[in-house]
Amino acid sequence: MTEVAIVGAGAAGAAAAYALDEAATVTVFEKSTGVCGRAATRHEADCHYDYGANYFKDEDPAVTEIVTEVLDTDGLVEIDEPVWTFDGEGTISEGRDSDTRKWTYREGIDRLAARLFDETSATVELRTRVETIVREDGRWRLVDTDDEDLGTFDTVLLTPPAPQTATLLREAEWDASLRTELADAIERVPYRTTLTAVLHYPFEVDPPYYALVNTEGEHDIGWLSREECKPGHVPDGESLLIVQMAPGWSTERYAESTEQIADAAADATADLLDDDRLAEPDWVDSQGWRLAQPDDGVDEDVLDRAADHDLFFAGDWVDGEGRVHLALRSGLDTGERMAARLSA
């Protein structure tokens, strides 16, 4: 059976593994300790919180079918409250929430990739960073950071964020002019940087919305959401806020400690929501996302030409918008195209 390597166990990698399950033997290499990439969850003090991507939508019929008909729906929860907006002055307005559902899981959004992998026979190698890809004798050999071989594969799918994928290509041992062309095209995809502050309170904050999003890009906060709106995430009588700071603010203060980030985010949150109590959370957490979301896509014609070399790409950066359902759809589409090519 054809051997396929997928680099990255995020939403795109998981969806591709699912699409390829009957067509190939799949091995997935993931540098982190868990799956689902930026759709990540942590667990603290009886709370489950999604501190990267906050939810996924049912905007894509293929994704919705998998989530509701293929995967186990036990623990799948919907966020009922709307998303409102605020401007650069901090003025909050009722938003225009779409009719699409906002989903996560009771134990966290990272269950999405985990459940997809459970539907496959793929081998997932965690804490394994692919450092170099080598093209030799018509196949691909993968090498880790210790210069150890990870195996040789017929086909490779790259799903890391665009800058990391471009670096892999630049450093690849692959004597083809397309290598540089691919790296140049992928490297041009712009990304925004985000610092996430997690703020917990031993009391309820109960506005009429789930989240606020800044519409003008002129506020220190870019996004603020309430994890207690997700069934099973926060104990009754408590609040947990996910505060994602604006890209400029995040870039400038990226090296600061969790305490510094949380203190500044708490002050900004108290000011935005006009509630002095929010300046003093009882526990905090933070996470820096240097490559949080792509702001543009890539020339797919260039990517398509790599298929003749048994090399493929998937991720939300292919579409140019950082959304979990787009990453899933990209992985599904690419996996299905790979499977069709393998069976031809």
Kindly tell me the number of DSSP H helices and DSSP E strands found in the chain: 10, 20
Can you give the residue range of the structural domain that contains 313?
Answer: 3-40+113-188+296-343
| 195 & 310 share domain | no
Model pLDDT, residue 217: 82
**Chain segment 24-54, per-residue pLDDT in tens:** 999 999 999 999 999 999 999 999 999 999 9
- Interacting residues of 283 by C-beta distance below 8 A, sequence separation 6+: 44, 45, 200
Residue 344 has pLDDT above 80, yes or no: no
| 36 & 56 share domain | no
Question: Cα separation of 150 and 148, whole Å?
Answer: 6
Number of structural domains the chain divides into: 2
**Chain segment 61-80, per-residue pLDDT in tens:** 999 999 999 999 999 999 99
| 195 & 88 share domain | yes
Residue 28: strand pairing partners: 6, 124
Residue 327 has pLDDT above 90, yes or no: yes
Tokens encoding 36? 């689902």
| 327 & 211 share domain | no
pLDDT band at 125, cuts 50/70/90?
A: very high
| 27 & 79 share domain | no
| 119 & 32 share domain | yes
Residue 285 has pLDDT above 90, yes or no: yes
CATH code where residue 268 lies: 3.90.660.10
| 100 & 203 share domain | yes
| 195 & 259 share domain | yes
Domain boundary among 294, 310, 330: 294
Tokens encoding 308? 């003749």
Where would I find the H helices in the chain? Answer: 11-20, 61-65, 111-118, 162-170, 177-187, 247-252, 258-273, 300-305, 316-319, 324-343
| 288 & 223 share domain | yes
| 20 & 60 share domain | no
| 221 & 280 share domain | yes
Model pLDDT, residue 300: 86
> What is the overall mean pLDDT for the chain?
96
pLDDT band at 288, cuts 50/70/90?
A: very high
> b/e string for 281-313 if b means 16 or more Cβ within 10 A?
beebbbbbbebbbbeeebeeeebeebeebbbbb
Residue 299 has pLDDT above 90, yes or no: no
**Contact (Cβ atoms closer than 8 angstroms) between residue 5 and residue 158:** no
Model pLDDT, residue 149: 97
> b/e string for 176-201 if b means 16 or more Cβ within 10 A?
eeebeebbebbeebebbbbbbbbbbb
| 267 & 325 share domain | no
Domain boundary among 258, 274, 294: 294
CATH code where residue 130 lies: 3.50.50.60
Residue 313 has pLDDT above 80, yes or no: yes
Model pLDDT, residue 35: 96
Least confident of 280-289, 291-300, 329-338: 291-300
Q: What pTM value is reported for the model? A: 0.95
Domain boundary among 270, 294, 318: 294
